[in-house]
Amino acid sequence: MPGFELFGDAEKKEVQDVLNSGVLMRYGFDGMRQGHWKAKELEAEIESQFEVQHAQLLSSGTAAVSLALASAGIGAGDEVIMPCFTFVASFEAIIMLGATPVVVDIDDTLTLDIEAVKAAITPKTKAIMPVHMCGSMANLEALKSICNTHNLILIEDACQAIGGTYKGQALGTIGDLGCFSFDFVKTVTCGEGGVMITNNNDYYTNADHYSDHGHDHHGSDRGAETHPFIGYNFRISELNAAVGLAQFRRLDDFIAIQKKHYTIIRNELEKLAGVTFRSVPEGGEESYAFLNFFLEDLETARKVSSAFKSNGIDVCFHYYDNNWHYIRKWEHLINQKSLVPLSKELIDGLSYLKHKTFEKSDHFIGRNISCLIKLSWTESEVIQRAKKMASIIQSSTS
Ligand SMILES: *Cc1c(COP(=O)(O)O)cnc(C)c1O
């Protein structure tokens, strides 16, 4: 996955353009910038590659998720349904707007469980936010139909699945709004960055203004612009956008490498009894950023995970015991350990988390091992790695 593995001359050339002009900001300074508009150029490339009307480049993926919610008018008192297996950013991005995350189970897709989503809908529900974790997607057709029935907004957190598709469409373009992260460890990196995409003109206009202090971006004098509503600063710098521009142009190559490496490892593990794979919704194609598989039980997964570590098989995660991606270890979120006072509405809205259990998700995450697929491995390294993984699993399960 990490695009930084293949950081090279193309990235340096784009950054050098920005350094030569000295215009590090994405807006204004038209005369000084010698024709370089890296953020705008990257937005245009994203729009054309993903066949989507609008892209708003931002300072992070977390900002992209908050901005998607804000652009659709979601805030205090509103409920957003999200999965219990994701990066904590999904939760943070919702509470930042004062909205309440309603965390629900996942299934063997490792993304939102459709029945759990249906059961969580209340009169306060405004949006459903599937997170396409570890390179593969939620059942978007089922979610779309729920959204149509209940008049809800569908927001795809596709931060970990750039390049994946569903029924021929790019992930992120199927819901009302989609988000990608370009942080340092994602498939495409800007160093730090993210993007929100949408086909909705109003959401886009809102996003354009909200991410830059409410500026309306009319005319060429920033100081004279009006502010139709309150905004914040989620801008990306031209330096970061320049890195992302070079990286994004290589996305197809990155996905092809991921697919090749993923397939070698998967073919080896498929021979083993006791190993099954995550299910991918019909019509979906993974981004191959990770290979996810299930073992028979929690104990076996723990055994294999620790044997991988002690035998030099790195970048494989057992998220059940990991602090970042699964609700079991989100003690600070569950107990509302906030630096600043939270609104009464949010405190009440989150109180269910202190009692809610996630047995169905425990069953899947407890048995899951998620292996990052690196871009910089050589073919012979991947083959060796696959054989070693298979032999470790075999000796841990026999
Ligand atoms: C990385 C990530 C984010 C946040 O992106 P940042 O750019 O690091 O803020 C959000 N959601 C998911 C699922 C992620 O993996």
What's the pTM? 0.97
Query: DSSP string of 150-173?
Result: HT-EEEEE-TT-TT-EETTEETTS
CATH assignment at residue 210: 3.40.640.10
Listed range (64-68, 216-220, 301-305) with the worst mean pLDDT: 216-220
Per-residue pLDDT, 311: 96
Q: Tell me: do 130 and 91 sit in the same domain.
A: yes
For a mutational test of ligand 1's pocket, the pick from 87, 110, 370, i.e. the residue with the most ligand atoms closer than 8 A to its C-beta, is: 87
| Domain's final residue, options 217, 232, 250 | 250
Ligand 1 neighbours, Cβ below 6 Å, are 60-62, 86-87, 89-90, 131, 157, 159-160, 181, 183, 194
Q: How far apart are CA 68 and CA 156, in angstroms?
A: 9
From 229, 250, 271, the end of a domain falls on: 250
Model confidence band, residue 2 (pLDDT cutoffs 50, 70, 90): confident
Domain shared by 106 and 191, yes or no: yes
Q: Which ligand 1 atom sits closest to the C-alpha of 62?
A: 9
Q: Which of 203, 232, 250 is the last residue of a domain?
A: 250
Q: Which atom of ligand 1 is nearest to the CA of 182?
A: 7
pLDDT in tens, 209-254: 999 999 999 988 888 888 999 999 999 999 999 999 999 999 999 9
Q: Which residues contact 398 (CB under 8 A, 6 or more apart)?
A: none
- Same structural domain, 218 and 296: no
Judge if 220 and 346 occupy the same domain. no
Same domain, 233 and 292: no
Closest residue CA from atom 6 of ligand 1:
61
Same domain (yes/no): 222, 148: yes
**CATH number of the domain bearing residue 318:** 3.90.1150.10
Ligand 1 atom showing the smallest separation from residue 60 Cα: 7
**Residue 239 sits in the same domain as residue 261:** no
Answer whether 139's CB lies under 8 Å from 119's CB. no
Domain of 67, in residue numbers: 3-250
> Ligand 1 mean position to 67 CA, how many Å?
13
How many whole angstroms separate alpha carbon 84 and alpha carbon 104? 6
Q: Is 270 found in the same domain as 162?
A: no
If asked whether residues 129 and 225 sit together in one domain, one would say yes
Task: Dump pLDDT digits (tens) for 73-105.
Answer: 999 999 999 999 999 999 999 999 999 999 999
* Same-domain check for residues 13 and 160: yes
Amino acid residing at 236? I
Query: Are 153 and 296 contained in the same domain?
Result: no
- Are 95 and 169 in the same domain? yes
> Of the candidates 283, 69, 315, which has an alpha carbon nearest to the alpha carbon of residue 196?
69
Count up the domains in the chain and report the number: 2
